[in-house]
């Protein structure tokens, strides 16, 4: 089954939102607590951070390997994120999971979400919003994994991304990771854990 022709199928959910809103934290929480959600593992040219494992957090690729995947049409979507590294969703793994009837979640950037919307308009598009702009800046600076120049670049991207909320079917405010993850799981038609 080709995901691009799966009209009316709602097994595919896309989670996107501004930089440093905590998409990664929400998806990590879901990976650790909701095995019933099939979380797509993206390919990226970004080097692994300490603790990240190939095939679990990302498929780490060289630029040449990524070029080949693009050329072969292996990506459902891909994008250059923060003007630097490339990230993409592998079409075959997502197609297989959907064909298996799994509840598939993509945690991707806005450019990628727009590409998926063009390919699979009936998928569910969820925008993860920060509680406030100040909170978002605090999270970005507090993470400490980027240089000041990279932080500035990410904030510029974030301003544009905040304006995209209206393109999405649902908004979840990331005021609390567990609560936001539970709301997402509910939107996906699954049962969240009792608290
Ligand atoms: P990080 O380098 O911090 O893991 O991720 C940086 C950004 O890349 C995040 O905003 C994340 O949503 C985005 N990203 C991760 N995987 C993909 C993907 O497969 N496609 C797209 N378009 N963006 C991705």
More confident residue, 154 or 15: 15
Atom 10 of ligand 1, nearest CA residue: 109
Q: pTM for the complete prediction?
A: 0.89
Which domains, and CATH codes, for the chain? Answer: 3-187 (3.40.50.300)
Mean pLDDT, the chain, integer = 90
Residue 14's DSSP bridge partners are 106, 125
Of 48, 27, 49, nearest in space to 39 by CA = 27
Q: Give the tens place of pLDDT for each residue, 150-186.
A: 888 878 877 888 999 999 999 999 999 999 999 999 9
| pLDDT-derived band at 143, boundaries 50, 70, 90 | low
Residue 60's DSSP bridge partners are 44
Q: Show Cβ contacts of residue 89 under 8 Å, excluding neighbours closer than 6 positions.
A: 40, 42, 43, 75, 76, 77, 78, 106, 108, 112, 116
* Residue to substitute in 22, 39, 87 for testing ligand 1 pocket (most ligand atoms within 8 angstroms of CB): 87
More confident residue, 147 or 77: 77
User: Is 58 touching ligand 1 by the criterion CB < 6 Å?
Assistant: no
Q: What's the gap in Å between 105 CA and the centre of ligand 1? A: 13
Query: Cα 189 to the chain's mean position, in Å?
Result: 18
């Amino acid at each position: 089954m080709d995901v691009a022709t799966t009209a009316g199928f709602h097994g595919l959910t896309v989670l996107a939102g501004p930089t440093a809103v905590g998409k990664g934290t929400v998806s990590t929480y879901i990976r650790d607590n909701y095995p019933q959600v099939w979380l797509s593992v993206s390919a990226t040219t970004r080097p692994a951070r300490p603790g990240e494992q190939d095939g679990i957090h990302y498929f780490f690729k060289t630029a040449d390997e990524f070029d080949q995947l693009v050329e072969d049409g292996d990506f459902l979507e891909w994008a250059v994120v923060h003007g630097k590294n490339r990230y993409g969703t592998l079409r075959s793994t997502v197609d297989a999971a959907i064909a298996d009837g799994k509840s598939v979640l993509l945690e991707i950037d806005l450019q990628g979400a727009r590409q998926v919307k063009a390919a699979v308009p009936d998928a569910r598009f969820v925008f993860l919003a920060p509680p406030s702009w100040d909170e978002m800046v605090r999270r970005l600076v507090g993470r400490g994994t980027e240089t000041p120049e990279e932080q500035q670049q990410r904030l510029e991207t974030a301003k544009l991304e905040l304006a995209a909320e209206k393109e999405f079917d649902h908004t979840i405010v990331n005021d609390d990771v567990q609560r936001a993850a539970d709301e997402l799981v509910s939107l996906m038609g699954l049962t969240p854990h009792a608290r």
